[in-house]
């Protein structure tokens, strides 16, 4: 079965950074501008499937991405989360960490209630591919 992340050429075009074990790119359905996904290179479905080295690589990349998001978007805080399993909202069977930069007054929620954050009513607009590539390029400048 094809992976929605591994097998899509357009995602490679918006890749921000790649290490031997992890990579980061903007999601095509962002909550706010700069909403980034960090994935292991190896296509695994759950956190428990990761090796210690993969976990370290993901969290090392998280620190790099957060610093870049502070510089590029003025992030004042972050929501970081992943979903595992269909009942938890996982729709792509390749584990991915959502990194959502937050600012006072942005379009997202201000208090944290997991059901509202993950399953709020309504839809988000799909971003144009060129816009996603621009976001990736802007963040790469800060790495």
Please check whether residue 3 lies inside any domain of the structure.
no
pLDDT in tens, 80-125: 999 999 888 889 999 999 999 999 888 765 555 555 555 555 666 7
Judge whether residue 7 has pLDDT over 80: yes
- pLDDT, residue 16, reads 97
CATH number at residue 44: 3.30.428.10
Please state the rounded mean pLDDT for residues 57-71: 98
Domain of residue 20 covers 9-140
pTM: 0.80
Please check whether residue 4 lies inside any domain of the structure.
no
Judge whether residue 73 has pLDDT over 90: yes
Question: How far is residue 143's CA from residue 117's CA, in Å, rounded to a whole number?
Answer: 28
Please check whether residue 45 lies inside any domain of the structure.
yes
pLDDT in tens, 11-58: 989 999 999 999 999 999 898 999 999 999 999 999 999 999 999 999
Question: How far is residue 139's CA from residue 136's CA, in Å, rounded to a whole number?
Answer: 5
Question: How far is residue 30's CA from residue 119's CA, in Å, rounded to a whole number?
Answer: 14
Question: How far is residue 43's CA from residue 106's CA, in Å, rounded to a whole number?
Answer: 33
Residue 96 falls in the annotated catalytic set: yes
Question: How far is residue 126's CA from residue 94's CA, in Å, rounded to a whole number?
Answer: 20
**Catalytic, out of 96, 98, 111, 142:** 96
Please check whether residue 1 lies inside any domain of the structure.
no
Which residue matches tokens 């595992």? 84
- pLDDT, residue 135, reads 93
Please check whether residue 46 lies inside any domain of the structure.
yes
> Three-state secondary structure along the chain?
CCCCCCCCHHHHHCCCEECCCEEEEECCCCCCCCCEEEEECCCCCCHHHCCHHHHHHHHHHHHHHHHHHHHHHCCCEEEEECCCCHHHCCCCCCCCEEEEEECCCCCCCCCCCHHHHHHCCCCCCCCCHHHHHHHHHHHHCCC
- pLDDT, residue 89, reads 84
Please state the rounded mean pLDDT for residues 56-70: 98
Question: What's the burial of 14, exposed, middle or buried (CB within 10 Å: 0-12/13-18/19+)?
Answer: buried
Domains identified in the chain, total number = 1
């Amino acid at each position: 079965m094809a992976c929605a992340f591994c097998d899509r050429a357009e995602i490679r075009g918006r890749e921000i950074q790649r290490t031997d074990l992890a990579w980061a790119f903007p999601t095509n359905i962002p909550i706010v501008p700069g909403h980034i996904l960090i994935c292991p290179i190896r296509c695994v479905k759950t956190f428990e499937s990761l090796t210690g080295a993969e976990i370290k690589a993901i969290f090392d990349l998280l620190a790099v991405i957060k610093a870049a998001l502070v510089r590029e978007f003025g992030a004042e805080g972050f929501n970081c989360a992943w979903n595992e399993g269909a009942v938890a909202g996982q729709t792509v069977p390749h584990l991915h960490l959502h990194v959502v930069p937050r600012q006072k007054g942005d379009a997202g929620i201000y208090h944290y209630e997991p059901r509202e954050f993950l399953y709020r009513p309504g839809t988000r607009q799909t971003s144009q591919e060129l816009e996603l590539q621009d976001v990736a390029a802007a963040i790469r400048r800060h790495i």
